[in-house]
Amino acid sequence: MALAVVLVLIALGAVAFHFASPWQPTAIASNWQSMDEALRLTMVITGVAFVALHLFVAYAVVRYRHRAGHRASLEHGNRRLEWWLIGITTLGIIGLLAPGLTVYARLIDAPPDARVFEVMGQQWQWHYRLPGADGRLGAADVRFIAAANPFGIDPEDPYGQDDVLVDGQELHLPVGIPARAQLRAQDVLHDFYVPQFRTRMNMVPGMVTHFWFTPERTGRYEVLCAQLCGVGHSNMRSWVVIDEPGAYGAWLAHQPTFGGGPAVPGGAGRAAGAGQASSAGQGGAGSAAGPGGSAGPTGPPGPAGSSGGGGMAGKAGTAGAAGAAGTAGMAGAIGAGGTAGTQGVPGGPAEPGKAGRLLAQAKGCTACHSVDGSRGVGPSWKGLYGKSEVLQGGATVHVDEAYLRQSIAAPQAAIVQGYAPVMPPVQLSAAEQAALVDYIKTLR
């Protein structure tokens, strides 16, 4: 009898906890209400089965308990009961599978007017690319992946020159306009997931996957990786900001392009059909030399390192090893003689600090060090060079090239007051350090 009571209490307690639980879905911010409906149907079907089975077992424990003078009778087969069980189970499985398959079929079938944006997953950071004024993404291939070119954009493809490379870990999209997410992974499995959009999709090295949604509420929403991708998985986060069209255009105008210069408002992400990058061999770690020496020889990208902040310059991300991705490739992209000029940088005309900007994006530095003066995990790079900073302990330091190089190689040596000492050493070549320092100098 005690067992029967426990089973009944478990069933009733589970139902009560479901309705009283503080863990409820976040407010939806996209057009995918059907995702919530499919989930609710799944909860109803599995909840009814859970309660029914517990109550049945409790009934059987009481009804068929041992009693003196009673013996069980043996009965072989019951076709009527078997047909009932088969029918109920079949309906339950159809109820679980059909809504999900229907919603998934719609999820990957983007409308023709959807604006495309590309997401590249890399341990443990996100990279975002938007089409430029021509409304289409340039071709990309793993042969061109390097520290200065994390997307592997073909430097000889004219359609890639105006591609918008989002500066930092914050992607903006206009409200009310369908958006098509084109997903790639550079190293291991990732999963692009924004809970408020009710959409997610695996990102597989060597493949291009996609889904679409229409953002219906302005706001700032956190991006999570929903696949265990290594020791820094839990910190692989960024943001999607849904703007009114005017605010989106203003943000877009300040984003750099692959070929150099700011983006052209109104051109990015014109249509999904025109925005698809070449999928041949996308996603893996690049190793071949770029054509004509424009991209430089690239080494395979190493892990994208670890938690930034604390030190002045350097990369951000999550806990893990601070691998120097594609060191040889970056040295080739920076140019001969180890200078931080723009010769040899893939992607069009010269731009002061371009090699360093691309390196900072590839390494995820801007996830912790902002370039607009806003406070982050680490000090902002805007206006950093040439100023004086107060360190922990009260000492003052003048931010010059020597200090920036020290902060990259040994960030724990001099921590700026008010910031946690969480940034690990970053393994960069002398040419890469020079490129990064030159880029910081341009941020006035």
- pLDDT, residue 74, reads 80
Q: What are the pLDDT digits (tens) for 1-58? A: 789 999 999 999 999 999 898 888 888 999 999 999 999 999 999 999 999 999 999 9
**Checking DSSP bridges between strand 190-194 and strand 219-225, what pairing results, if any?**
antiparallel
CA distance 192 to 421: 29
Q: What is the pTM of this model?
A: 0.64
Between the alpha carbon of residue 176 and those of residues 45, 164, 255, 318, the distances in Å are: 34, 21, 22, 33
> Does 317 score more than 50 pLDDT?
no
Tokens 């009778």 sit on residue: 73
Stretch 157-179: mean pLDDT: 90
Query: 């909860």: which residue's tokens?
Result: 43
> What's the pLDDT at 406?
85
* Confidence at residue 262, expressed as pLDDT on a 0 to 100 scale: 63
Q: Which residue has the higher pLDDT, 354 or 151?
A: 151
The answer to whether residue 397 scores a pLDDT higher than 50 is yes
328, 305 contact by CB (below 8 A): no
Instruction: Report residue 413's pLDDT band, with 50, 70 and 90 as the boundaries.
Output: confident
> What are the start-end ranges of the E strands in 302-438?
388-390, 396-398
Average pLDDT, integer, range 365-386: 83
Q: What is the pLDDT of residue 266?
A: 52
Q: How far apart are CA 362 and CA 258, in angstroms?
A: 13
d(CA 166, CA 374): 16
Identify which has the larger pLDDT, 68 or 325.
68
- Residue 254, both tokens: 């300040």
Q: In the chain, pLDDT over 90 holds for what percent of residues?
A: 34
pLDDT of residue 328: 35
> Which sign does the torsion angle of CA 10, 12, 15, 18 carry?
negative
Q: pLDDT-based confidence at 429, cuts 50/70/90?
A: confident
User: pLDDT at position 261, please?
Assistant: 61
The mean pLDDT of 310-335, rounded to a whole number, is 36
Work out the angle at residue 106's Cα, subtended by the Cα atoms of residues 49 and 46, and round it to the nearest 5 degrees: 5
Q: For residue 180, is pLDDT > 80? A: yes
pLDDT tens figures, 274-312: 444 443 333 333 333 333 333 333 333 333 333 333 444
Report the 3 state secondary structure along 299-337: CCCCCECCCCCCCCCCCCCCCCCECCCCHHHHHHHHCHH
Report residue 265's pLDDT band, with 50, 70 and 90 as the boundaries: low
Partners of 200 in beta bridges: 193
Question: What is the per-residue pLDDT for 335?
Answer: 39
Average pLDDT over the chain reads: 78
Q: How much is the CA Rg of the chain, to the nearest whole Å?
A: 27
Name the band, by pLDDT with cuts 50, 70 and 90, for residue 133. Answer: confident
Location of structure tokens 């030159």: 438
Tell me what the mean pLDDT of segment 321-326 comes to. Answer: 33
Distance CA 258, CA 126 (A): 17
**Which one has a higher pLDDT value, 277 or 378?**
378
Encoded tokens for 209: 């996957």
User: pLDDT at position 198, please?
Assistant: 92
d(CA 292, CA 193): 38
Percent of the chain with pLDDT over 70: 79
Q: Decide if 262 contacts 277 (C-beta within 8 A).
A: no
User: What is the reported pLDDT for 409?
Assistant: 83
Let me know if 156 is exposed, middle or buried by CB neighbors in 10 A (0-12, 13-18, 19+).
Answer: middle
pLDDT digits (tens, 9 = 90+) for 182-205: 999 988 999 999 999 998 899 999
Q: In 22-42, which positions are buried (b, 16+ CB within 10 angstroms) versus exposed (e)?
A: eeeeeebbbbbeebeebeeee
Q: Where are the beta strands (DSSP E) in 26-122?
A: 115-122
- Nearest-angstrom CA–CA distance, 309 and 302: 20
Strand partners, 183: 119, 209
C-alpha span between 87 and 208 (Å, rounded): 40
